[in-house]
Structure 1
Amino acid sequence: MSIEAIVFDLDGVIIDTEEVWEQVRRAYVAEHGREFLPDSQDRMMGMSTGEWSAHLADEVGVPRTAPEVAADVLGRMAERYREALPLIPGSVETVRALGARYRLALASSSARILIDQVLETAGLTGAFEVTLSTEEVPRGKPAPDVYLEAVGKLGLTPGVCAAVEDSSNGLRSAAAAGLTVIAVPHGVYPPAADALAGATLVVNAITDVTPEVVLNLHR
């Protein structure tokens, strides 16, 4: 079955922000006299805003409500993005090249305010027919909700869509939704082996995801 649309993740695929997220959230937690749990970083990669803010408030113990934690951290992230947007080399060109041949959507765990800011700064606001935040669906990644919603908004079925993902939860989400999964593993935060096993194709860099590569994907 040939691919008709490609659904991109944002963090770790188009922008290299996992380290920024970790720095901002660790500093925020430390300011409140707390520290990450051993698995906090891995668990929060792919979580929706409501989910990671609840984790920091309820499990890590930051003495703020989850909505307050979300507002605090998102404000700091937006400020970092205004200072410098850490685009992954070649990501914008890759999106544009794929968009010339395929329909595109974006399915991100970032908040809507951050998605819109990134796309505007990167000059990609019009590149995607559909952009979704996991804030806008019932469950964040690794649940399939955001991918199923994106595919539905395109008017397609998962079987004719590919996903480009980097993190364990993102890969699991796309695979659970039934998309053909292209993995671009993050060098600093590599995905778990079981999550990577769900990918049809594993590439070294986003620039390896060319229209020709997608054309030759087999389910």
Structure 2
Amino acid sequence: MTPRTDAPAAVLWDMDGTLVDTEPYWMATEIELAEEYGATWTTADAHALVGNSLLASGAYIRERMGIPLSPEEIVERLLDGVVARVQHAVPWCPGARELLLALKDAGVPCGLVTMSYQRFVAPILEHLPPETFRVVVTGDQVDQGKPHPEAYLTAAAALGVDPEDCVAIEDSPTGATSAEAANCRVLVVPNHVAVPPGPRRVFRDTLVGLSPAELASL
């Protein structure tokens, strides 16, 4: 596929903390789980999970909280909490929905690359026009979650584009590492955790005011 000169071949979006600021939803659900079992859970623990696969997070929670649930059961409990919250309100990150819709209007294909599971993604997609994301890759569809590049490579292949011609938008070290390993250019908009510099990373404080044409400069 011939790369566009006025925009990336595709834009691959992380979801939690990048498209929607749902990290507080996950953290609140984690705290509820800890309180139910009389366990200790800190902000540092919550931040350690940002960008991770859900099963890895479930294993971490099981160990840290010492609760009698499997990682898979913990993941389902977390999803119950965050799905209920997002059905009440979708907390779009500043400028994210505007950029996403501008990319759609400009004909730039977008893919969603998230470690969240499909049942959490679905109620968010209901708030967007059909086909806003031409490809959706979720954590329950891949064998290896972020920071492994599988999810980004899968999305690029499904869109028929070279990862090198794509821009990935991420907010976490784990996600940025995943996109970078897939050879994408990475626009990092840090949110709840700091992200270190990297060879294919460009940083911006916010997506507010960012146009599709500006993404080509990456």
The one of 82, 86, 99 equivalent to 2:87 is: 82
State whether structure 2 residue 215 is matched by structure 1 residue 214. Answer: yes
- Once the two structures are superposed, the pairs formed by residues 1-219 of structure 1 within 5 Å of their partners are 3-36=8-41, 39-99=44-104, 100-120=106-126, 122-186=127-191, 189-193=192-196, 196-217=197-218
Cα separation, 2, equivalents of 1:44 and 1:89: 22
Cα separation, 2, equivalents of 1:145 and 1:89: 28
Structure 1 residue runs of 4 or more that deviate by more than 4 Å after TM superposition: none
1:209 Cα deviation from its structure 2 partner: 3.3
Kindly tell me the number of residue pairs found equivalent between the two proteins.
Answer: 212
Cα separation, 1, equivalents of 2:62 and 2:30: 12
Using structure 2 for the length normalisation, give the TM-score: 0.89
Q: What do you get for the CA RMSD once the two structures are aligned?
A: 1.9
Is contact 2:149-2:178 (8 Å) kept? yes
Structure 2 unaligned residues grouped into runs of 5+: none
1:183 Cα deviation from its structure 2 partner: 0.8
Is contact 1:101-1:211 (8 Å) kept? no
1:54 Cα deviation from its structure 2 partner: 2.0
Secondary structure of residue in 1 paired with 2:208: helix
Larger mean CA deviation between 134-143 and 37-46 belongs to: 37-46
Seen in structure 2, the aligned counterparts of structure 1 residues 84 and 38 have a Cα distance that, compared at 3 Å, is closer
Percent of counterpart pairs with the same letter?
Answer: 27
1:63-91 Cα deviation digits (max 9, x unpaired)? 11222211111111111111211112332
Secondary structure of residue in 1 paired with 2:12: strand
1:137-177 Cα deviation digits (max 9, x unpaired)? 11211111111111111122211111001111111111111
Which amino acid is the alignment partner of residue 57 of structure 1?
R
Secondary structure of residue in 1 paired with 2:186: strand
Structure 1 unaligned residues grouped into runs of 5+: none
Which amino acid is the alignment partner of residue 189 of structure 2?
V
1:39 Cα deviation from its structure 2 partner: 4.9
Cα separation, 2, equivalents of 1:191 and 1:209: 21
Is contact 2:146-2:174 (8 Å) kept? yes
Cα separation, 1, equivalents of 2:130 and 2:180: 26
Seen in structure 2, the aligned counterparts of structure 1 residues 89 and 134 have a Cα distance that, compared at 3 Å, is same
Is contact 1:92-1:124 (8 Å) kept? no
1:44 Cα deviation from its structure 2 partner: 1.3
Seen in structure 2, the aligned counterparts of structure 1 residues 48 and 200 have a Cα distance that, compared at 3 Å, is closer
1:125 Cα deviation from its structure 2 partner: 4.2
Higher helix share: 1
Is contact 2:47-2:193 (8 Å) kept? no
Cα separation, 2, equivalents of 1:60 and 1:173: 28
Cα separation, 1, equivalents of 2:47 and 2:193: 10
Is contact 2:110-2:133 (8 Å) kept? yes
